Structures are given as structure tokens and as C-alpha cells.
Structure 1
Amino acid sequence: MNRKVIQTLTAPAAIGPYSQAIQAGNLLFLSGQLPMDPATGDLNVKSIGDAVDQCLRNIQAILKQSGCTLANIVKTTVFLTDMADFNAFNEQYSRYFPDSAPARSCIQVAALPRESPLEIEVIAMI
């Protein structure tokens, strides 16, 4: 099976020993994206809506590097540090997937890197 590392400067660089994404055959596995501004490395967390926007912009940049869009996503996994943000998260997230949203899991976690309130990882088909 072909395995290819995907990397772009238009999404935040990895903050640890991992790749932004790995293409394996016709599947693309994106590492979890924090709401980090790729230019500054700062978190964009003025609100949970802003955090969702930044995470999904980062995801779009990595997908674009592979010739994909949000429509290629088949599964997302969402990590929230506060499940009280669930409704606000859904409100913003649904704007990116108005039709046939991908399968999704949403999990509350104790903490995320850089004290982020949110992380989103995805699997896409190429």
C-alpha cells in the first residue's frame, strides 16, 4: 500500500513528532487540528465559534494540499474540553456541512495541548 506524508505551510506546523496528514491508498488521515493561526502559532479562541472556524480552515488547507475539500471527509472526531460548548460547536460546525455531514464522534477530554478548548481530526477519501 502506498503511504504518503502530506504537509503544507498554510496549516499550522506539527507541534510534536507527527505529520499533518498521511495518505494511505485512497484514504487521508488528518492529525487533530487545534484552532491555531498558521502564520503566528497563536490560538484563535475568542469564542468556540472562532475556534471551530480556525480548526476547519486548517483542515481545509491540508485537504487542499491533497486535492480534496470538506466534501471528501467521511469521519470527524471532535474533542471538547467542556461539553457545555457542544451546542455552540454544533451551530458553527453545521455551517461547514449543510448537506450530508460526515459521520462524527464528539468526546469531552480533560485537557488539550496549549490549553485549547477544541481539537478536530478527520478521515477523508481521495
Structure 2
Amino acid sequence: MTDRAKPITLPGDPLAPYCIAPAWQVGDLVFLSGQASIGADGSIVGAGDFDAQLAQTFANIERVLAAAGTDLAKVVKVTIYLTDMANFPKIVEARQRWFTPPYPADTTLEVRSLALPELLVEIDVIATT
């Protein structure tokens, strides 16, 4: 590690049991770990409900970005993992809700499963500070 790289921590971090840092700041960039619909207590939020999971996922992203001293307006890259590409239209709507033009670069892909079987979406982002 260099003195330009530092972990971003959260009080009561729900990812701690998985041995994952919420994010790392390297220089002027913040790299978030994949965020999913995991509540502050570590429980799955919105099992079986894509909309609820997407809202919780973005709430988690906002929380980690705030801990790093940045926000959604400074996100430059998004990677979205879906367990069902039929939810892609909701992703387009989400981009319009949580981001503003110019929109971040984006990669969206369908995966067979995520780390926990109840999860329907996971998103990681890169932001500037």
C-alpha cells in the first residue's frame, strides 16, 4: 500500500463478516466494493423484490460514498450485475433517478447468481473526490 491508498470504513459495517472493505480511496478516486441489498444489520432487504433491492443498493452506495467524502454526482463508472436481464429497463430508470447527465460510464451484465442467493442486483462504482 502507498500513503495515497486508504480504506474507507463504516461504523457497524455490514460487509465486515465477509472480509470486504466498503471502499478504497486511491488518490482522487474512490473504488467501492460491490454493494447489494444488505441492511445495516447485515440482513437482506427486499428478498424477492427487485425494486426494493435496487433502492437499498443505491442507499448503500450513497452511504459508502459519503463516508469517502463524495457522492453520486461524482460517480464516473458503474458496473451492474443482474441475476435476470429482464430487470434491465428498471436499471435505465434508476440511472435517470440517481444520476444526472453526463451519465457515468456503465457496464451491465447478467450473472447466474450473486454472493447470497436472495440477492438480485449488485452494483460497484468508481467516483472522484
TM-score (norm 1): 0.89
Q: In structure 2, do the counterparts of structure 1 residues 17 and 39 end up closer, same or farther at CA, with 3 Å as the change threshold?
A: closer
Alignment partner of 1:117 is 2:120: yes
Is residue 31 of structure 1 aligned with residue 30 of structure 2? no
In the alignment, is residue 101 of structure 1 matched against residue 103 of structure 2?
A: yes
SS in 2 for 1:29: strand
Which runs of no fewer than 5 residues in structure 2 stay unpaired? none
CA contact (8 A) 1:10 1:61 kept: no
Query: Out of 85, 88, 91, which is 2:90 matched to?
Result: 88
RMSD of aligned Cα (Å): 1.7
Q: Secondary structure in 1 aligned to 2:33?
A: strand
Deviation, 1:15, is 4.2
Alignment partners' CA distance in 2, 1:86 and 1:11: 29
Query: Identity percentage over the alignment?
Result: 33
Instruction: Find out whether 1:79 has 2:81 as its counterpart.
Output: yes
Amino acid in structure 1 at the alignment position of 2:85? M
Q: Distance in 2 between matches of 1:51 and 1:111?
A: 15
CA contact 1:11–1:62 (8 Å) conserved in 2: no
Q: Which amino acid aligns with 2:67?
A: Q
**Unaligned runs of at least 5 residues, structure 1:** none
Judged with a 3 Å threshold, the aligned counterparts in structure 2 of structure 1 residues 80 and 12 are, in CA distance, closer, same or farther, namely: same
* Structure 1 position 64 matched with structure 2 position 74: no
Query: How many pairs align?
Result: 126
SS of 1:114 mapped into structure 2:
coil
Compute the displacement of 1:59 (Å).
0.6
- Correspondence for 1:5: 7
